[in-house]
Amino acid sequence: MRNVFYLSITLIVTMLLSCSETTKKSAPNKESSSMEEGVLMGFLGDRSQQQQELETKFDELLSAEEMGEWMKRLAARPHHLGSAYDKENAYYIDSLFKSWGFETKIETYHVLFPTPKERKLELIAPHSFKAKLKEEVIPGDPYTEQTDEQLPPYHVFSADGDVTAGLVFVNYGLPEDYKRLEKMGVSVKGKIAIAKYGRSWRGIKPRLAYEHGAVGALVYSDPQDDGYGQGDVYPDGPYRNSSSVQRGSVTNLTVYPGDPLTPGIAATKDAKRLKIEDAEVIKKIPTLPISYEDAQPLLEAMGGPTAPADWVGGLPITYHLGGDDTAKVHFKLAFNWDLHPTYNVVATMKGTDYPDQWVIRGNHHDGWVNGAADPLAGMVAELGEAKAIGALAKQGLKPKRTLIYIAWDAEEPAMLGSTEWVEDYADELKEKAVAYINTDGNARGFLNAGGSHSLEKFFTQIAFDVEDPQTGISVGQRSLNRQTVNRGKKVDTFRIGALGSGSDYSAFIDHLGIASMNLGFGGEGVNAQYHSIYDNYTYFSKFLDPGFHYEEALAKVAGRTALRLANADILPFDFVHFHQTVERYANEVKDLADDMREKTDFENQLVRDDVYKTVQDPLKKMKTPEEKEAIPVYNFDPLDKALGKVKQSAQGYQKVFSALDGQEDQQKIEAINRMLYKSERYLTAAQGLPDRPWFKHMIYAPGFHTGYGVKTIPGVREAIEQRQFDRVKEQIELLSETLSKFSQYIDQVAQEGK
Residues of this chain that bind its own copies (CB under 8 A):
8, 223-224, 228-233, 237, 239, 306, 309, 312, 314-318, 445, 468, 470-471, 473, 477-478, 481-482, 484-485, 488-490, 524, 599, 602, 606, 611-615, 617-619
Q: Which is nearer to its own copies, 20 or 481 (CB)?
A: 481
CA-to-CA separations, 546 to 60, 65, 262, 446, 524, in angstroms, rounded: 20, 10, 42, 15, 11
Q: What is the DSSP string of 423-477?
A: HHTHHHHHHHEEEEEEE----SEEEEEEE-GGGHHHHHHHHTTSB-TTTSSBHHH
In the complex with its own copies, the residue whose CB is nearer, 309 or 633, is 309
- 363 close to 407: Cβ distance less than 8 angstroms: yes
Whose Cβ is closer to its own copies: residue 5's or residue 113's? 5
Q: How far is the CB of 185 from its own copies (least distance, A)?
A: 17
Closer residue to its own copies (CB): 301 or 650: 301
**Is the CB of 237 or the CB of 355 nearer to its own copies?**
237
Task: Give the C-alpha separation, 681 to 404, whole Å.
Answer: 20
End-to-end CA distance of the chain: 45
Shortest distance in whole angstroms from residue 690 CB to its own copies: 30
Give whichever of 307 and 650 is closer to its own copies, judged by the CB atom: 307
Nearer to its own copies, 326 or 580 (CB): 326
Contact 434, 281 (CB under 8 A): no
Least distance (Å) between residue 271 CB and its own copies: 48
Distance between CA atoms of 302 and 288, rounded to whole angstroms?
19
DSSP state of 402: E
Nearest partner of 151 among 365, 295, 366, 343, judged by Cα:
366
> Could you write out the DSSP letters of every residue in 128-150?
-EE----PPP-TT-GGGG-TTTP
Nearest to its own copies of 239, 494 (CB atom):
239
The angle, 0 to 180 degrees and rounded to 10, between the axes of the packed helices 725-753 and 637-659 is 20
Whether 340 and 261 have beta carbons less than 8 Å apart is answered as: no
CB of 132 to its own copies, least distance (A): 18
Helix (H) / strand (E) containing 739: helix 725-753
Cβ closer to its own copies: 186 or 739? 186
Closest CA to 386 of 400, 407, 372, 411: 407
Cα distances from 751 to residues 130, 415, 504, 579, 740, in angstroms, run: 70, 39, 35, 19, 16
Identity of the residue, 105 or 489, whose beta carbon is nearer to its own copies in the bound complex: 489
Report the distance separating Cα 501 and Cα 506, nearest Å. Answer: 6
* 40 vs 22: CA distance, rounded Å: 27
3-state secondary structure 656-671: HHHHCCCCCCHHHHHH
To the nearest whole angstrom, how small is the minimum distance from the Cβ of residue 270 to its own copies?
53
Q: Cβ closer to its own copies: 273 or 549?
A: 549
Report, in Å, the least distance between residue 59 CB and its own copies. Answer: 21
Q: Compute the least distance from the CB of residue 187 to its own copies, in Å.
A: 21
| Minimum separation from the CB atom of position 605 to its own copies (A) | 8
In the complex, least distance from residue 10 CB atom to its own copies, rounded to whole angstroms: 13
**Least distance (Å) from its own copies to the CB of residue 316?**
4
In this structure, are residues 150 and 144 in contact, taking their beta carbons and an 8 Å threshold?
A: no
How far CA 168 is from CA of 185, 202, 401, in Å, comes to 12, 17, 56
CA angle at residue 750 from 684 to 659, to 5 degrees? 135
DSSP summary character for residue 324: S
Q: How far is the CB of 614 from its own copies (least distance, A)?
A: 4
> Angle of helix 576-608 relative to helix 456-463, nearest 10 degrees?
110
For the CB of residue 220, give the shortest distance to its own copies in the complex, in Å: 14
- What type of residue is 234? Y
Per-residue buried b or exposed e for 630-650, using 16+ beta carbons within 10 Å of the residue's own CB: ebeebebebbeebbebbbebb
Of 393, 63, 2, 400, nearest to 203 (Cα)?
A: 2
Q: Compare residues 224 and 654 and give the one whose CB is closer to its own copies.
A: 224
Which C-beta is closer to its own copies: that of 185 or that of 229?
229
Strand partners, 249: 156
Could you count the other beta carbons within 10 Å of the beta carbon of residue 728? 25
Instruction: Give the DSSP per-residue string, 262-280.
Output: STTS---TT-----GGG-T
Min dist CB 484 to its own copies, Å, is 6
Shortest distance in whole angstroms from residue 176 CB to its own copies? 15
Closest approach of Cβ 7 to its own copies, in Å?
Answer: 10
Task: Give the nearest distance from C-beta 241 to its own copies in angstroms.
Answer: 11
**Residue whose CB is less far from its own copies, 426 or 611:** 611
Nearer to its own copies, 95 or 624 (CB): 624
Nearest to 369 by CA among 153, 71, 109, 141: 153
Kindly tell me which of 91 and 602 has the beta carbon lying closer to its own copies: 602
- Among candidate residues 544, 588, 454, the one with its CA nearest the CA of residue 16: 588
By CB neighbour count within 10 A (0-12 exposed, 13-18 middle, 19+ buried), where does 396 fall?
A: exposed
Whichever of 176 and 338 has its CB closer to its own copies, that residue is 176
Q: How far apart are CA 740 and CA 286, in angstroms?
A: 45
Provide, rounded to whole angstroms, the least separation between the CB of residue 666 and its own copies: 44
Helix (H, G, I), strand (E, B) or coil at 179: helix
